[in-house]
């Protein structure tokens, strides 16, 4: 798979189209503690664009412009985390967004398996490896295996969205999904503000 690796920001003039698949790699799963190391993007053409972010260097004006562009739909799997960590380190609220994990939970109520690996296998017949998921993303130089893993996480999101959109329409849940997606930036801000646990929507 073609992979373009950039240091610190997207290049000037890069056009990734109206729907951009995005994922992040961090030092851990606490966005208030674990720093953002890598942002992966794809326009759905089979090519991945990876932005490596060095510790304390989060200027990235081109990346921030894309994340906040109201004309560009940002496509995630588990957007809640990615939005929160990018707000914490890049200082921007990412919108508008679409989350394949939420879409899956709304229409694939016959299963509790909504991970990216499960979705790509069940809906696309594609097996992806999660072997590098827990590796050191803060390393100065990322390995070829890390880059391949990170790139794969955004390659299938456009196709997953297309399949899930059909299911959402079939089950009459398209508008419900859109309302959930619209709320995700607020949900991420609540997480960063300390309302992740206990959840204010819980009893």
Per-residue pLDDT tens digits for 25-84:
999 999 889 999 999 999 999 999 999 999 999 999 999 999 999 999 999 999 999 999
Peptide linkage before 198 cis (omega within 30 of 0): yes
User: Could you tell me the pTM of the whole model?
Assistant: 0.95
- Ordered by where they begin, the domains of the chain are 3-192 (3.30.420.10)
Q: 79 and 165 in contact (C-beta within 8 Å)?
A: no
**Rounded to an integer, what distance in angstroms lies between the CA atom of residue 72 and that of residue 43?**
11
String of DSSP letters for 120-158: IIIII------TTTTS-TTSSS--HHHHHHHHHHHHSHH
**Rounded to an integer, what distance in angstroms lies between the CA atom of residue 49 and that of residue 154?**
9
**Rounded to an integer, what distance in angstroms lies between the CA atom of residue 130 and that of residue 113?**
15
Token pair, residue 97, equals 């967004």
For 98, list phi and psi in degrees, rounded to 5.
-140, 135
162-190 pLDDT, tens digit per residue, is: 999 999 999 999 999 999 999 999 999 99
In the chain, pLDDT over 70 holds for what percent of residues?
98
């Amino acid at each position: 798979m073609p992979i373009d690796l950039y240091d610190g920001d997207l290049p000037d003039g890069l056009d990734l189209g109206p729907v951009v698949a995005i994922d992040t790699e961090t030092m851990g799963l606490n966005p208030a503690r674990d720093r953002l190391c890598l942002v992966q993007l794809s326009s759905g053409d089979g090519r991945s664009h990876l932005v490596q972010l060095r510790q304390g260097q989060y200027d990235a004006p081109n990346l921030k412009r894309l994340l906040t562009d109201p004309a560009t739909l940002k496509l995630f799997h588990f957007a809640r985390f990615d939005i929160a960590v990018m707000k914490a380190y890049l200082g921007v609220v990412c919108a508008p967004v679409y989350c394949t994990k939420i879409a899956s939970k709304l229409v694939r109520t016959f299963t509790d398996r909504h991970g990216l690996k499960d979705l790509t296998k069940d809906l696309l017949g594609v097996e992806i490896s999660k072997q590098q998921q827990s590796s050191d993303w803060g390393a100065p130089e990322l390995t070829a295996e890390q880059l391949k893993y990170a790139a794969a996480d955004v390659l299938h999101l456009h196709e997953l969205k297309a399949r899930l959109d059909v299911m959402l329409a079939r089950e009459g849940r398209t508008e419900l999904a859109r309302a959930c997606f619209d709320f995700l930036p607020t949900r991420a801000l609540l997480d960063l503000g300390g309302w992740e646990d206990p959840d204010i929507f819980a009893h």
